[in-house]
Amino acid sequence: MRLVGKSKIIARIDQVGAKVRKVKDFAHEEFRKITPIRTGNARKRTNRINRGVEAAYPYANRLNEGHSRQAPKGMTDPTVDKIQEYVRKL
């Protein structure tokens, strides 16, 4: 039995996968841009991981809760807002 349209489905899945990778890259860059910078440690230790973004420093939660004048809304919520705008444009 031959699957009808199999190659079209695979091609579409590949296209969607490429867009997901673009969104992950975009999210990482936006999160890094929003991350407060004093010594540069937080931005240097913000990594793109398979499922998203990792803030690999001990004070990440404090910064994300808005304990910095540079990012009073934290980083996660503004990044999510930017991702939503980006995805609408895809």
For 40, 42, 76, the CA distances from 72, given in Å and listed in that order, are 18, 15, 11
Q: What is the mean pLDDT of residues 60-83?
A: 97
Q: Which of the four pLDDT bands, split at 50, 70 and 90, describes residue 53?
A: very high
59 has pLDDT over 80: yes
Contact 74, 17 (CB under 8 A): no
More confident residue, 26 or 50: 26
The H or E element that residue 52 is part of is strand 52-55
